[in-house]
Each structure stands twice: as structure tokens, then as C-alpha cells.
Amino acid sequence: MSDTSRRSLLALAAAAAPALAVAGAATAQTAAGGGVHAQLGAGRAAIVTGSSRGIGAATAKRLARDGFAVTVNYLTNRDLAAQVVRDIEAGGGRAIFRQADVADPDAVRALFDANQEAFGGVDVVVSNAAIMNTAPFAQFEDAAFDRMIATNIKGSFNVLREAARRTRDGGRIVALASTSIKAKRATHGGYAATKAAQEIFAGVLSKELAGRRISVNALAPGPTNTSLLDVPPPLRAQAAQMTPYGRIGEPEDVANAIAALCAADGEWINGQVVFANGGFL
């Protein structure tokens, strides 16, 4: 081999070494459970409403694993919210929990204030808090309907309004809809209507935030193993058979879909309804 060739090979090897080191570090981080999402979330903060249990809790924990500092919100389940924070902290993340009824705009503002004080701002807002009351139209009671409207529509509006004011440029906003908006099941008229509102909210808000690189979407889970799925075992089994996977969803399945929308690669998904239901419909 000539001296010129030898010098060329040595130069190539020297140039490749730093790149290999970076690649090796990234591989090691991924193997350790961090990966790309953790890098994206580093130094950023998220608010997840209704996150003391179910999909909200799973989402808070997933975003924390991705590197976000998380504000966990609850209405009545203080102990459960505190446990979510302990779980996040045990995994090396940062989190606080705050009580707020999303139907109260002052409480929502205070929730965002608490996040601001703790973490300096917000980059991801997940409007998840909701209640499900179901009954045939002829039997639906006013109080049950009014409370659902107050939480699911007015409450989500309060959260999204504050998110529009405070989410930092390049952030993400996700409103939880439901596959019920497509299924149109008997007894789900009121609930499905409140979830259809999330599609309108997301589509309109995505346009209002034009120029700020904030993606806004509605995510619609299917039947999921949470306390909201209060149905007899035979109906659960029937729902499971309606997906190609032969099972109903777990909160973590939905949380993973939300995390994908909140990642850098999810930016181009904007103003959409994303159905995360395992092929249920």
C-alpha cells in the first residue's frame, strides 16, 4: 500500500471515530430505555388533565419516560395522583400533582400557573379529563347530561384555551376524543357528542395557531381497560373480538399513541382525529 493510500485510510478512520462514538451512545441510551423520545423531551414540560388513573396516568408516565417534566391533574383522587408522581420520580423523572376541576376556568388557570412555577412553561398539553354517562335519550337525566357537558366540552374548552395562550412554540396539544364518534352506539348519544366536539376543537385550534409550529390533534381510543369501561365481562369479550388483536386496549396502548403525536416526528400530523383503537372500527 502506498503512503498516500495509507494516509487516506487513517484520515477516514479518524473522521469515523466520533460518529461511531455518537452512534454507540445513542444505542446504549435506547437500550437503557431512553432513546430518541427522551432526548426530545429533555428540558420540556407537559400537563395531562385527569391523570390520576387510566389513560391519563399512563400518558403522564410515558411522557415522563420521554423526558418531560409532568404536571399530574386530578379532581378527587389525590392519593392516586400522588402515586403517579411517585412512580415518575422512581423512574428518574420530575412531576407534581395539582387538583383542578377542568369545568372551572379559574381552576384551569391555576393548574397552568402551578406548572409554570414548577417547570417554567409548558410544551405539551393533553386534555384528557372526562366523564362518561350513558343512557337512552328517553331516559337521560338532566343532571347527568349537564355534568358531562360541563366536564367534557366546557372543561376541554377551558384547557385548550389556556393551552393556546401558554404552549410554547413547537409544542403539541392533544384532546381525547373517542371511537364512539364513529360507532354511534345506542345509549352513547350524549357522550359521543361531547367527544365529537374534540374533533372540532382540534381542527379549529390547529389553524388558529398557524405560524407557531404547534400541532393540535384529537386522539380517539376504542374500548380500553379503564374504569370508564364499566360493562359486563361478556361485553368486554365481545369488544375484544372486534379487534384484529383479539383484545381490548390497555391505557399504555393509548399513551404510546399520544406520545407519538408529541414527538418531533409527529409534527406533520396536525388538525386530525387519530383513531387508536387496535382496528376496532
Same domain, 12 and 143: no
| 191 labelled catalytic | yes
| 23-52 per-position pLDDT tens digit | 333 333 333 333 333 344 668 999 999 999
Longest CA–CA span in the chain (Å) reads 91
Domain CATH number, residue 178: 3.40.50.720
Indicate the length of the chain as a whole number: 281
- In angstroms and rounded to an integer, the radius of gyration of the C-alpha atoms of the chain is 22
What predicted TM-score, i.e. pTM, was given to this entire model?
Answer: 0.85
The x, y and z cell numbers of residue 210, run together, are 398557524
- Asked if residue 169 and residue 72 are part of one domain, the reply reads yes
Domain assignment of residue 267, yes or no = yes
Within-domain flag for 175 = yes
Q: Are 184 and 195 in contact (CB under 8 A)?
A: no
Give the model's pLDDT for residue 41.
63
Residues 1 and 89 in one domain: no
> CA–CA separation, 45 vs 36, rounded Å?
16
Cell representation of residue 206: 390547529
Whether 102 and 136 map to the same domain: the answer is yes
Q: What average pLDDT does this structure show over 78-93? A: 98
Average pLDDT across the chain, whole number:
88
Rounded Cα–Cα distance for residues 28 and 20 (Å): 12
Cell of 160: 385548550
* pLDDT per position as a tens digit, 98-156: 999 999 999 999 999 999 999 999 999 999 999 999 999 999 999 999 999 999 999 99
Q: Say if residue 157 is in the same domain as residue 21.
A: no
Domain match, 47 and 176 both = yes
Residue 5 is predicted with a pLDDT of: 42
- Pair 269, 246 in one domain: yes
pLDDT of residue 14: 41
Q: Is residue 105 part of a domain?
A: yes
What is the mean pLDDT of the segment spanning 256-271?
98
Inside any domain, residue 281: no
Domain residue limits at 61: 36-276
Same-domain check for residues 158 and 182: yes
Neighbour count for residue 10 (Cβ, 10 Å): 10
Residue identified by cell 437500550 is 31
| Chain position carrying cell 365481562 | 233
Binning pLDDT at 50, 70 and 90, where does residue 89 land? very high
Average pLDDT for residues 265-274, to the nearest whole number? Answer: 98
Position 6 pLDDT exceeds 70: no
By the 8 A CB rule, do 76 and 53 touch?
no
Task: State residue 45's pLDDT score.
Answer: 98
199-236 confidence digits (pLDDT tens): 999 999 999 999 999 999 999 999 998 877 777 788 77
Together in a domain, 12 and 45: no
- Specify if 133 maps to a domain: yes
Total number of domains in the chain: 2
Q: Does residue 163 share a domain with residue 60?
A: yes
Same-domain pairing of 128 and 74: yes
Contact 219, 202 (CB under 8 A): no
Beta bridge partners of 224: 249
Q: How far apart are CA 75 and CA 235, in angstroms?
A: 29
CB atoms within 10 A of CB 211: 6
Mean local confidence (pLDDT), 232-250: 89
Predicted confidence (pLDDT) at residue 15 exceeds the cutoff of 70 = no
Across 92-97, average pLDDT: 98
Residue 234 confidence (pLDDT): 81
Residues 28 and 83 in one domain: no
Active site residue: 68, 74, 157, 191, which one? 191
